[in-house]
Each structure stands twice: as C-alpha cells, then as structure tokens.
Amino acid sequence: MIPDRTPVGRGVYHATAEVAKGAHVPNFQKYKELYLQSIQNPEEFWGKIAKEYYWKTPNTGSFLDYNFDVTKGNIYIKWLEGATTNLCYNVLDRNVNEKKLGDKIAYYWEGNEPGDCMQVTYKGLLQQVCKFANVLRAQGVKKGDRISIYMPMMIELVVAMLACARIGVIHSIVFAGFSSESLCERILDSHCSILITADGFFRGDKFVNLKQIADEALRKCRERNYTVGKCIVAKHLGLTEDTLIDEASTCPQSPAAKRSCYNLQAPWNADVDIWWHELMKDASDECEPEWCDAEDPLFILYTSGSTGKPKGVQHTVGGYLLYTATTFKYVFDYKPDDVYWCTADIGWITGHSYLAYGPLANGATSVMFEGLPTYPCVSRFWEIIDKYKVTTFYTAPTAIRLLMKYGEEPVKRFSRESLKILGTVGEPINPEAWLWYYNVVGNRRCPIMDTFWQTETGGHMMTPLPAAIPLKPGSATFPFFGVVPAILNESGEELEGEAEGYLVFKRPWPSIMRTLYGNHERFESTYFKKFPGYFVTGDGCRRDGDGYYWITGRIDDMLNVSGHLLSTAEVESALLEDAAVAEAAVVSHPHPVKGECLYCFVTLRDGHEFTKTLVAELKAKVREKIGPIATPDYIQNAPGLPKTRSGKIMRRVLRHIARNERDLGDTSTLADETVIEELFSNRCRTL
C-alpha cells in the first residue's frame, strides 16, 4: 500500500523547489491520486493517454483482456486489440507533421572519439527511415518477417529499427558486444531473413571488426543448415571491401583520422553482402507505413534464461508505445526543451525503450553516445553533459562505481549546471554510489530516479517521480501508474506491511511481454508457473515500514554483471565445451565495480593440469561463446564439487567458499564433506 502522507524522516531526500516547479506530478498526493486512478480504472487512464497518439482504426472492442492464471488456461495479455496504428508513424510522422517538430534535433550523435559528432533532426530521421524501409521492402521482406540487427551505436541503428517498425517487420537487435556464436544462436531461433550490420567500430582504443564476426555467425548458421539471404553493411569506419586491415599501431591517433584508417579484413561476398549506402542511393523517401494491430509484434529481444538458452522476449506495438512514452514523460519529468541522455546501448532493452521509442514518442532531443565513460579520459561523461547542456542523465550503477574510483576532481572540471534529473537502471545501486552520484555529480540538486524494470516488462515498474516521491538511497521507491506489485513468501502467500520475499506483479501493464518467440510454453512456465495468478520477476524484494520497495537481487540462477543479466548455466555450458573440463559450476560473486562477477569452479578430466594457460584458455572460451561481458573474473580448480546425495551441486555452499565464509549453513545433505576443505584451500585470492 502507498502511504497516505508524504514520507519524511532521516535519510529521506526531497525535491528542491526548482525541481517541483512545473512538474507533471508536483507532489506525493498527486502521485497517489493518479496511481489510484490508474489502478481503479485502467481503461480510462490508458484510454486518455492513447488519444494522444495516432490510430488508423481506434479501439472499439475490449480495451484489456488477459489471463494471468495458468491453472485457468493459457496465459495471454491483450491491450487495445483490434485498434491499428504504426509505431514509426507515431514517433516520426506525427512529430514532424502534426507537432511541427521537423527541425528539432532528434539525436546528437557523439562518437567514440571526442570531436567526432553529428546531429539528425526529426525530419532528417523520417527521411532516412522511409528510404531504408523502402530498401527493405525492395529486398522482399514483409510484415511479420524477422530481421537481425547487429550494429554499433550509430544513427543507422535507429534508422534500421524504425524502418522495420514502419513496415511491420519484427526487429531482433543483438548487442554488438556479443560473439558470433551468440549472434548465430539468435538468428537461428528467430529465423531472421536478413542481417544488418556495419563494417566495424572502436570501443575506446580497441578495434572491433564487426563484419568479420557477422560473417562468422552467418557461416555458423549455414553449418546448421540455415542461410540468411542478405547481409546489409553500413559503413561506419569507411572501410572498403578490397583491402586488408591496418594494424592498430599504425593508425594515426588524431580522432577523426582514426575512424577512417581501417580497412575491411573480412572478405566481401557479393552474393550476400550489400552496402547500406548503395541501397539507399536511389531509394524514395516516401513510404506508406504498414498499419499494424496494437497486438502485432514489434520486436524480439533476447535475454538470458536460467536454462542457458536465451529467451526471445516479444513485445507488441500498441501497449509498448503507450507505456514507454508515458514512463519517459513522468519518470524524467520531460519538458520540450530538455536534452536527455541515456548512456545504454540500443542492443539492450534500456536502449530500445529509453534511447529510441520512449524519447522519440515524446519528441525529445537525445544524446546518443558511442564511446566509453573512461575514454579518452575519465571526464568524458561530464564533458559531454556540458557540451550538449544535458538536463536529464540516465546511466548504470556500474558506470557510477567505476567513475567514483577516480575521485571528484574529474567531475568538478566540468560545470554540469544544465543537469536537472539523474537516473539509474540495471542493478541495485548501493547507497555509497547513490550518495556520490547525488552529492558530487548532481550537486545535491538533482533527484535520482532509481528505475527497477526488466527486458520482460518493457518499461519502468518501480521508480520514483522527480518532484513527487521522496527518495531513499538504494530504493526504487514505489510502483509506476498501472503497476500492482506484491511480495510473496515461499508458499505464495501475499505479505503485507514490512516484508521480504519474491517480487511479483498482480496484473498486466501495457508493455508487459506477450510471449517468448516461438515458445509460449516456456513463457508460461518461466513467469507464471511458480505462483499462479502472478507475473514472477525472479527478483527478491523488501518493503520497509514506509512502504518503500528495495530490490534485493535475483533469486534464480541469474546474475547481474555490470547491469547485464547472465545465466550461470550459459557460462557453465561454455566452460564444458573445453576438452579439459569435466564439470563446471558457476556462482555470482560480489565485485566493487561490476556489482557482481562470475566465479567459476571447474573439475578437470584426468590427464589435464590446472595451469595459468588453461585459465586463460577457459576465459577466452567464454568470451568467444558469449561475449566479453561474460568473461569470468575467477576460475578455480575444483577436484570435487559439493553435491547432494542426489547429485545436485550445492551452489549456496560454493558461494560461501568463493567469499571465504566459513559458516556454510546447513550441510547435512552434502554427500561428501571432504571436498569442502580442498575447495577452501584452492580459493582464488586475487583477480
């Protein structure tokens, strides 16, 4: 329950008068009033918001229809079924034609190298999107087809996703840090007919030959009897198809020169590969949108699953539009003159919802950043904030913890006076990092929106609102409009008042995922089976005496490394591919910057020795299989693993060993106690 009065007391942070002035939701009472409306009459609440958008055919049938209870039949959720619209039309044409925002900047693009930048207006974006949508149609794709997009943070990535949305094609964006194996797996699962990629890019000093990785993925697909028809390659670094790559060391260090000094290493396959710019040359910039049902799929985005096989989370057109647009407006208290910067990559849900669709639906100006917070120096974020006069800054706790290490001086070199609102996402933020963000970055004037949500939820679920909800460092505070959380105990009973347990949601909000692509059964069993009648988040949660929610972290076999969700099973199966490994057990381990990291126990096959070379080989194996984000920090030799008599590995015990905690709790079910001492003595002590 939401308290009747505005929470006050020690450790509670209230908005300044400046923040409250003209806020969409000016105080706690107003939040409560709107929240109750959204819960008591969702149809009226969301119906009013829906009217702000363009519908080719308005909704006449049922506004919301759903079943959340597996014991009563199949799970389904339908918002505004029968109404037709187009998401791309709403975020571009509507802004250009109706709202007269054609000349407004949609994106300031800031490259990896300082000084490498450009901007695109709403009109310019609409033109490019229409052209590329025509290009795709000319390639023969049609509504409902799937396309994989594997690109760095370049404007063409936004163009590609919106072009898909325009013609009703389902985009499946794969983060450009994923490996060829991960890309291949995602292409195969969603049967994508086209891959859109780029020549290459830089991450800080490191060159990533994206085309080569993409080629490798397509080769792996062919080996598994699946052929992707076309690979469209956007030129980002100015690479050419007929020359070989230069060594990084021979590259001139001047920023702009660096982007154009690399040549393409991957061979050009003229049957499959086509340059983006060649296709765009003669394409028309007029393109009639495909009118889609509100419940038609918009995109698939893969997220880790506890079985190790990624899950293709599927979102739909209508509900996703309403929810991302509304959360963006209220959570960041968006005003037309704001300059908003979300540092997430579009390859993750945060980029989809809050760098692309949400801000665009509001006609906002965003900064899109290709680079790293520490390149070429640790002031890069603050420099960019001053450069574009950023008002709203949304980043991950891991980035804050990383930058904290360098002290206040690099921050204070820049004024940051344009900042009004700060945000975090992706993992719990520890109070120390929260306070540094608040005191040092925000100069104690900018409220921090700690937004809890998931790929599956499509948008913010538990979050403060800048002027309305007083903050407690580390708490995602209260539910957003339309969200009804509950905390359950192991038996599935709802806990009232102060409590800790499983975080679930009791009814659908517009942007809840509708299924897992091609596997509705897995959707039902993952999210609805454990507690029938509820959507199960997989996170633990505590509610304090004031009704504030505190996310305590995953309670399944998932872990959150630098805000990226990974499954321990996925990493174990990568380790098991090495001929030396007989058994592997991976647990999460605290990390001062990443939040959590991977601690792996491996049992070797006879005849293999645990050496530094093997450790390096195993780390490389995981990087290659999943991507650099999954690189283990620790790999420990485990001649034996702690198992129950039925053979189940006791990960809880392994977590204690990794942390050198001698109190292992109840070990009565352990089959062989003797492995424990050996594991303690083999612990990895340093990184």
Residue nearer to ligand PRX on the CB measure, 315 or 643: 315
**Closest by CA position to 331, among listed 362, 298, 356, 297:** 362
Residues 515-554 close enough to bind ligand PRX by CB under 6 A: 537-539, 551, 554
Handedness of CA 329, 334, 338, 341 (dihedral sign): negative
Amino acid at 72: K
- If one counts every other C-beta atom within 10 angstroms of the C-beta of residue 221, the result is 20
Instruction: Considering only residues 158 through 197, tell me which ones interact with ligand PRX, judged by CB under 6 A.
Output: none
State the nearest-atom distance from the C-beta of 341 to ligand PRX, in Å: 16
SS3 at position 592: coil
| Helix H or strand E segment including 387 | helix 380-388
* Site for ligand PRX contains 562 (CB under 6 A): no
Q: How many secondary structure helices (H) and strands (E) does the chain include?
A: 22, 31
Gap between the Cα atoms of 238 and 551, Å rounded = 45
Lookup: tokens for 539: 């996170």
Question: Is position 352 an interface residue for ligand PRX (rule: CB under 6 A)?
Answer: no
- Residue 376: cis peptide before it, omega within 30 degrees of 0: yes
Shortest distance in whole angstroms from residue 299 CB to ligand PRX: 14
Using the rule CB under 6 A, which residue among 289, 319, 347, 428 binds ligand PRX? Answer: 428
- Our finding on whether 450 is near ligand PRX (CB under 6 A) is yes
Among 418, 391, 365, which Cα is nearest to 104's?
365
Minimal distance, residue 560 CB to ligand PRX, in Å: 5
Compare residues 468 and 584 and give the one whose CB is closer to ligand PRX: 468
Count of C-beta atoms within a 10 Å radius of residue 234: 24
Alpha helices in 445-530 (DSSP H): 520-527
Question: Binding ligand PRX by CB under 6 A: which of 426, 470, 508, 627?
Answer: 426
Distance from C-alpha of 635 to C-alpha of 258, rounded to nearest angstrom: 36
Q: Which is nearer to ligand PRX, 28 or 452 (CB)?
A: 452
Q: Does 561 bind ligand PRX (CB under 6 A)?
A: no
What does the buried/exposed string (b/e) look like for 378-409 if buried means 16 or more CB atoms within 10 Å of the residue's CB? bbbbbbbbbebebbbbbbbbbbbbbbbeeeee
Which span (247-255, 444-452, 611-619, 632-640) binds ligand PRX, by CB under 6 A? 444-452
Residue span 288-327 as binding mask against ligand PRX, x where in contact by CB under 6 A, dash where not: ---------------x------------------------
Nearer to ligand PRX, 212 or 552 (CB): 552
Residue 393 binds ligand PRX, judged by CB under 6 A:
no
DSSP for 419-450? Answer: --EEEEESSPPPHHHHHHIIIIISTTTS-EEE
* Residue 38 lies near ligand PRX (rule: CB under 6 A): no
Residue 466 found at the interface with ligand PRX (CB under 6 A): no
Which position's Cβ is nearest ligand PRX? 455
The one-letter amino acid code at 63 reads: F
Kind and range of the H or E element at 595?
A: strand 595-604
Residue 105 corresponds to which tokens in the numbers above?
């900047």
Q: Cβ closer to ligand PRX: 293 or 333?
A: 333
The one segment of 77-85, 105-113, 452-460, 668-676 that binds ligand PRX by CB under 6 A = 452-460
Host H or E run for residue 327: helix 317-331
Contact region with ligand PRX (CB under 6 A), list: 316-324, 373-381, 422-430, 635-643: 422-430
Six-digit token string for 15:
């908005």
How many angstroms separate the Cα of 573 from the Cα of each of 301, 309, 610? 22, 10, 19
CA distance 367 to 365: 7
349 belongs to the binding site for ligand PRX (CB under 6 A): yes
Candidate segments 27-35, 407-415, 450-458, 484-492, binder of ligand PRX by CB under 6 A: 450-458
Provide, rounded to whole angstroms, the least separation between the CB of residue 539 and ligand PRX: 5
Q: Residue 358 interacts with ligand PRX (CB under 6 A)?
A: no
CA–centroid distance for 137 within its chain:
29
Which residues within the stretch 648-677 sit at the binding site for ligand PRX (CB under 6 A)? none
Write each residue from 16 to 35 as x if it is in contact with ligand PRX (CB under 6 A), else as -, in one continuous string.
--------------------
Strands 105-110 vs 365-369: parallel, antiparallel or unpaired: parallel
Residue showing tokens 């780029």: 198
Residue with Cβ nearer ligand PRX (283 or 425) = 425
Binding-site size for ligand PRX (CB under 6 A) equals 21
452 binds ligand PRX (CB under 6 A): yes
Q: Does 455 bind ligand PRX (CB under 6 A)?
A: yes
Give the nearest distance from C-beta 302 to ligand PRX in angstroms. Answer: 10
Q: Is 118 helix (H, G, I), strand (E, B) or coil?
A: strand
CB of 476 to ligand PRX, least distance (A): 5
Contact pick of 314, 451, 511, 637 for ligand PRX (by CB under 6 A): 451
**168/428 with CB nearer ligand PRX:** 428
Interaction mask 195-234, ligand PRX, x per CB under 6 A: ----------------------------------------
352-to-104, 364, 486 alpha-carbon distances in Å: 21, 15, 27
Residue ranges of E strands in 212-310: 230-234, 273-275, 292-293, 297-303
Q: Name the residue among 106, 206, 212 with its Cα closest to residue 159.
A: 106
- 289 vs 351, beta carbon nearer ligand PRX: 351
Residues of the shown chain interacting with ligand PRX in the complex, contacts defined by CB under 6 A: 303, 349-350, 425-428, 450-455, 476, 537-539, 551, 554, 560, 565
